[in-house]
Chains A and B, each alone.
Chain A
Amino acid sequence: MQTAHPPKGTGPLQKREARLAWSLLLPTITIVSLVVILPLLAIFWISFKPIGLADLRPVVPVVREDLRNAGDPDQAVRYRIQNRSQDEPILNVEFTDIVPDAATLGELPEQCELSASQLTCTIGTLEPGERLTLMIPVTLDGDADALEDALEDDTEPRATGDADNILTNTEFTLENFTRIFDADEFVTVMWATIFYTVFGTVGALVVGLFAALLLNKSFRGQGVLRGLYLFPYVAPIIAVAFTWVNLFDPFSGSINALLIQMGVTNETINFFGQRPLALIMVTVFEIWRYFPLSFLFILARMQSIDTDMYEAADMDGASPFQKFWYLSLPMLLGILSVLFLLRFIWTFNKFDDIFLLTGGNAGTRTLTVNVYEQAFAISNIGAGAAVAVVIFGCLLMFSFFFFRFISREEGL
């Protein structure tokens, strides 16, 4: 008798399902790899390149055409070709132009030749900053003004040439990395990053826990308060950051005026402009802006805790603090650790807040602000990319921990 075996391997139905799944995922995978994976690879590439902001302009020959001495017997078409780069030569420079029918060119320079109405000139090598002028006599047949326009504007001359492109050549350097690690400021930057990340994360969690405890009971106006406490997180960063700068302004800021009036200080405090206060202030801002998030998550978890447990504890005579410490906190530990890891990573990644509040001055330059600072303020794209690579390395480390914990907590 033949026994029935369960099918082995993947059956046609499963194959079809997998095919469908991949085709549904394909658009997402394509676009994400285009805009995330590719740039990440580019960052690694660039971080080993000596490249500045100015190098982004492609090195190409520029050619201009105009009509000189129009109407005179010695009227001529003038071509000016220039290499605008200050350090890269351009090889095999060549330009072409269409000559209008009504214009007849006279004697051609040796580099140029005319076939039909197309003028082709082969220039050769242009040294950095070199400019070259070619004058070609011309006779015009017809309305001079119209022809001048036809010559100068209607057909633009096109120039081509080969130049070494710093982005694609194989010149590599470690200078970017040595530069960012050697600099004295690297220690300051790391310190600011660690301080901001650790205290910002812990602070937001603790404050959020406190807020959640407050609202974890039903009373009239609970909904309103909950909405209100989310304001800092929902409002655009640009609005709240500038408001804080305004509020703490040493000259016209309300907080300074308030503090002086209440006799706390005698002179104004420059909250965002002096060390180490600025770093503390941006951390406080971070806590202020992101406590709503932890508050929301913790509150959601609290409301899902079974009340039976608390009733049992009441029967046993547990005091309120005991209930919090021995019942609520262990129940919340899961969400707290997930929140801690996520917020840690996100605070570490934060750029906008500090950039808008202090611009990275007064000892508040974190790694992410340093990327911008190196790439755009100092115009050294390579160094910026090197900092970005360092960030990415840290991130990989964090996400390793993250997945070890979160797979336990969330079953992902």
Chain B
Amino acid sequence: MKLLRNGFVTGPIIGALWLFILATTVSVVMSFATGNAYRPTLFFSLILGGALSMGAIMPLARAPIVGVVMAVGLAIIGLVGGQVGAPIVTNQGAGLQAVVNGLLGFIFGYSTAMIFAGIPRGSLTRHEMEEAWIRFLTGFGYIFFTAIVLIPFYVMVMTSLKSQSALLQNPLDFSIELDKGWALFRSYHELFRDFNFGTYMWTSFYVSVLTVIITLAFSIPGAYAVARLQFRGRAAFSRSILLIYMVPMIVLALPIYIAFSITGLRNTIIGIVLIYPVTTIPVALYMLQGYFRGLPAEVEEAGLMDGLNRLQVIWKITLPLALPALASVSLYVFMIAWNEFLLAFMLLDDPSIFTLTRGVAMLNSSEIPREHLMAGAVIATIPVMVLFLGLEKFMTKGLTAGSVKG
């Protein structure tokens, strides 16, 4: 720890790690964007990054200036470095290597100047040392999280636009062949034409909407009773809701499968619409009762004094006040129903009544090309994403209120 307090130790360590992280990031981005080979060099990056931060030169100048200086420096290194002597090496020619390294240099210079801003050379106080590390970790965190979230979704979309043979040839080449025009969306077109995806989407949609309606119809009165009314067994009831919430679906799915097989409800939409709300009622009840508790009881009491009965109070006072909560609960329930896979997979065999998730599962076979599967995944994802991004505020609220459930 003592040693880290020295700017001539902390500086190079952070610099070395940071250059390597950035070199890796730029290489990955370039590889995914062009499909060509870009490779970060481990030792060269570490040594170069350490050396560049050695003198803790960063505080000497403003970030853009450091960025430009570094860009020029790394571009020259990239130009002459060949296959080992540059932070990023590529087989695409020295010129391109210089450009990529120059870009890396600019990012590195700029960000390193920010990391070391206000931090003196030589010995550091504990504050300054931790500050530098925190800035470094923050930068790393942003890159890390953005990468792990974006890469799978990027690959999902891009795979759906490529053909399987092209992907087998070069799994990294995600460049979009714009000259193909509408043919890019061939797999989507085929899904809707040959695989009934339009119907599946519609089925999923109305099943989800029905689930939301039924769930609300059951959970609003229940949640109100738990939140507002005094009765014996209230605590036990609200605990058992949570307990039921924790029973794994697969445990219930087995007897439900048996019961549905015997009663002939298997393979019917009615069966699905019967069973989905039951999985969501406990969640909705739990979320809503929390919200109802937060509403001022005085308003309702005023209503009672003015001669409304309880049901009228719920209808005329509580529900209008709880509209935002109802919106987030509805969205959350819709999302659960839309994303539901296990029950649809077990209970539906007839391709004409598949829900979307069941339809996508059907595409997972060796006879159907990968891009169809990915196109199906994109089709299933887009509606929830649109809903989510459009109503993010409600959604986040709904998630924090009730998503103890996974």
Contact = CB atoms under 8 A, between A and B. Distances in A.
B239 A352 contact: no
Interface stretch (A91-99, A156-164, A183-191, A387-395): A387-395
Contacts of A282: none
A20 B250 contact: no
Nearest to A390: B251
B302 interface: no
B266 to A, nearest CB: 10
Nearest to A43: B255
B149 A25 contact: no
A184 B103 CA distance: 56
A49 B237 CA distance: 32
B159 interface: yes
Interface residues of A, number: 99
A39 B141 contact: no
A234 B335 CA distance: 8
Contact of B231 (A18, A244, A346): A18
A24 B221 contact: yes
Contacts of B26: none
A395 B246 contact: yes
A354 B395 CA distance: 26
Contacts of B385: 231, 234-235
B242 interface: yes
Contact of A14 (B230, B370, B377, B406): B230
A181 interface: no
B248 A385 contact: no
The secondary structure that dominates the B interface is helix
B159 A246 contact: yes
A204 to B, nearest CB: 10
B399 A31 contact: no
Interface of A: 14, 17-18, 20-22, 24-25, 27-28, 31-32, 34-36, 38-40, 42-43, 46, 56, 58, 167, 210-211, 213-214, 223, 225-240, 242-244, 246-247, 249, 251-254, 256-258, 261-263, 288, 290, 293, 296-297, 300, 317, 319-321, 342-343, 345-352, 355-356, 368, 371-372, 375, 381, 384-385, 388, 391-392, 395, 398-399, 402-403, 412
6 A-B pairs with the lowest CB-CB distances in the bound complex, closest first: A349-B248, A239-B377, A39-B255, A18-B231, A24-B221, A42-B255
28 contacts: A17-B229, A25-B222, A32-B244, A32-B282, A39-B252, A39-B254, A39-B259, A42-B258, A210-B141, A227-B388, A228-B150, A232-B149, A236-B338, A236-B384, A239-B378, A240-B377, A242-B374, A252-B167, A252-B370, A258-B172, A288-B148, A348-B248, A349-B250, A350-B406, A356-B341, A381-B258, A391-B248, A391-B250
Given A18-B230, A356-B341, 16 more contacts: A17-B231, A22-B231, A39-B255, A225-B142, A244-B152, A246-B159, A246-B370, A247-B152, A252-B164, A258-B172, A296-B400, A320-B127, A349-B247, A350-B406, A368-B250, A372-B250
Interface of B: 24, 27-28, 31-32, 37-40, 126-127, 130-131, 134, 138, 141-142, 145-146, 148-153, 155-156, 159, 164, 167-168, 170-172, 174, 217-219, 221-222, 224-226, 229-232, 234-235, 237-239, 242-244, 246-252, 254-256, 258-259, 261-262, 274-275, 277-278, 281-282, 285, 310, 335, 338-339, 341-342, 357, 360-361, 364, 370, 373-374, 376-378, 380-381, 384-385, 388-389, 392, 395-396, 399-400, 403-406
